[in-house]
Structure 1
Amino acid sequence: MMKKNILITGTSTGVGFESAILFAQNNYKVYATMRNLKKADNLRKRIEEDNLDIELLPLDVTNVESIQSAVSTIIQKDGKIDVLFNNAGAGFAKTTEQSTEAEIRWVTEVNYHGVVFCTQAVLPYMRKQKSGQIISITSVGGLVGQPFNELYCGAKFAVEGYMEALSTYVSDAFNIKISCVEPGGISTEFMTSAIEKTAVEGSLATGEYLPIFEKYLAGNQKRANESKDQVYQTGLEVASVVLKVAQNDNPPLRIRTSKWAEDFCMLKTQADPDGSKLVNQIKSSFL
């Protein structure tokens, strides 16, 4: 049986790193991509140690030419792309008022535009082969807005809306399955990146925002101390959910990755947990 192949973005650390290994261990040909292949040493080591069917490719989700080059390389080698896993992203916590234009554009480029352009690049091939699957990491922040995370949440909300709209017509017409995977907290370098991009590179909240931010930090710390095991998942735990979605013949449009994430989003999701009711309603209304 021919292996399915999967293109994964952002595989240097965290969920992307764990997903590359896990998919390879489950009989997928993995194209593991990252912006800077100098950060691939840990993945190269695992490939060699475990003899994994993983090929490394450069791909910067903020650069359309880089995306198209990676996709073309895969098509030239395999003639198809079975699964796209839009994993690359970056956290960002800062007030709108105190964010620079460059920061606002950056958080949107990395977390939303990158998903759109990667999806745009694979769609022609999936459409022609009349099969494919696009899985995107969003976050509980793609469903629930949170203090000091409005720019990040806005980008993730955009991914949710984009994927929901796309699913209303490409799934039935071209057999391209669409899913959003929605983790809560993840104990990976993603969190470190978010802190570095905000608190380290500049003051996250000052002036009248400072007392609100201090309450926000205290609340976060309290939740982490009281329920760390429930709130924070490992990259491997989230990757395992992604694998189950990829192996599902009828995957959900939306899936949370933990009980904590499920409870956190309950008011948004309880009427339609996996998003299928709304998509069916949209199809019946427009198509």
Structure 2
Amino acid sequence: MKKNVLITGTSTGVGLESAILFAKNGYKVYATMRNLEKSNALKESIKKDDLDIDILELDVTKQETITKAVETIISKDGKLDVLLNNAGAGFGKTIEQATEKEIEWVTNVNYLGVVYTTKTVLPYMRKQKSGHIITLSSVGGLVGQPFNELYCGAKFAVEGFIESLATYVSPSFNINFSIIEPGGISTEFMTSAIKNTAVKGEFATGEYAPIFQKYMEGNQQRANETSESTYQTPLQVAEVIAEISNNEQPPLRVRTSAWAEDFTKLKTALDPDGLKQVQQITKTFL
């Protein structure tokens, strides 16, 4: 039986490209998304290339949809080989400006969604004593950035969550964990980030205005660079994910571009793939 993979957030961007790439690489793909009405792009690719992809509804903020999707996969295949935690959303406002509802939303989509989905698949992978959980993080999971404290905070939480699991679940149950850390991605994710960035109101006239203006100008400049671009395509990131999935001894952490590597080097230089830290913690406590 071919390997299978559950991918969250496959309507656009990295999730969409990953679903297509995994299928082309011989996986049975379960592509999930919150809103099935946004599945047209994926359906067109399935039809065009005759891809082995099933589309399922899954909202990472709703446990009942996660449970239903995972149980559907297990009932069909009796196993789950790879989970790709891809779903997420950009956000850029100061903590002062963000509403309580926005704070909860950023945390739920970018952190708790990873927790809930991982929690749901772990019992099955533990029973089969195999599996690979790959989670899309960001350089923002390693380095805090202006006007991104809520997003970065959620991604820092993701990194700590996955790293902690790797210290005892991996050696005990043969389940691998990998965190993917891109820089900017030219995708709907960027559209989401811009949509959820304060560009009016307080930032237009308040004390943060000149700082925010400088921040936005810098983002625009990097987006327009033609040499070593900050922004990758979704396919470029998906290719890194696909490569990691085929690695028998995958890294805990991997940056997806030279820019991302350079941006985070003060945090990663001593332990680029994160495995030394995990091994040290495992040795210390277990």
Class of the TM-score when normalised by the shorter of the 2 chains: over 0.9
The correspondence of residues 218-233 of structure 1 with structure 2, limited to 5 A, is: 218-227=217-226, 229-233=228-232
Correspondence for 2:151:
152
Tell me how far apart the structure 1 counterparts of residues 41 and 227 of structure 2 sit (CA, whole Å).
26
Equivalent residue in structure 2 for 1:205, among 199, 203, 206: 203
Deviations along 1:70-109, one digit per CA (max 9) or x if unpaired, are 0011011111100000000000000000000000000000
What is the alpha-carbon distance in structure 1 between the residues aligned to residue 227 and residue 183 of structure 2? Answer: 11
The 8 Å contact of residues 15 and 87 in structure 2, kept in 1 or not, is answered as yes
Structure 1 length normalisation: TM-score?
0.97
Residue of structure 1 in register with 2:236 after alignment: 237
Q: Kindly indicate whether the alpha-carbon contact (under 8 Å) linking 2:9 and 2:87 is maintained by their aligned counterparts in 1.
A: yes
Measured after TM superposition, the shift of residue 63 of structure 1 is 0.3
Aligned-pair Cα RMSD in Å? 1.2
Shift of 1:229: 4.8
Structure 2 counterpart of 1:231, one-letter code: T
- How far does residue 196 in structure 1 lie from its aligned partner after superposition? 1.2
* Equivalent position amino acid for 2:175 in 1: I
Q: List, as ranges, runs of 4+ consecutive aligned residues in structure 1 with deviation greater than 6 Å.
A: none
> Which residue is equivalent to 1:174?
173
- Asked if the contact 2:89–2:189 (Cα under 8 Å) also holds between the matched residues in 1, the reply is yes
Unaligned runs of 5+ in 1: none
Offset of 1:221 from its aligned partner? 1.9
Q: 1:107 to 1:228 in 2, by over 3 A?
A: farther
Partner of 2:189: 190
Equivalent residue for 2:106?
107
Structure 2: unaligned runs, 5 residues or longer: none
> CA 1:260–1:166 in structure 2 vs 1: closer, same or farther (change >3 Å)?
same
Please state whether the residue corresponding to 2:225 is helix, strand or coil.
Answer: helix
Q: Deviation at 1:233?
A: 0.5
Q: What is the number of equivalent residue pairs in this alignment?
A: 285
Q: What residue identity is the alignment partner of 1:213?
A: F
The offset of 1:218, in angstroms, is 1.4
The residue identity in structure 1 corresponding to 2:238 is: A
Is this contact kept in 1: 2:228–2:259, CA < 8 A? no
2:119 aligns to what?
A: 120
The one-letter code of the counterpart of 2:219 is N
Query: TM-score normalized by structure 2?
Result: 0.97
SS of alignment partner, residue 154 of structure 2: helix
Return the alpha-carbon distance in structure 1 between the equivalents of residues 282 and 45 of structure 2: 44
1:139 matched to 2:138? The reply is yes
Secondary structure class of the residue paired with 1:161:
helix
What is the distance in 1 between the residues matched to 2:2 and 2:123? 21
1:71 maps onto 2:70 in alignment: yes
Q: Which residue of 1 aligns with 2:6?
A: 7
Q: Which residue of 1 aligns with 2:85?
A: 86
AA partner of residue 281 (structure 1): Q
Q: CA deviation at 1:197?
A: 2.1
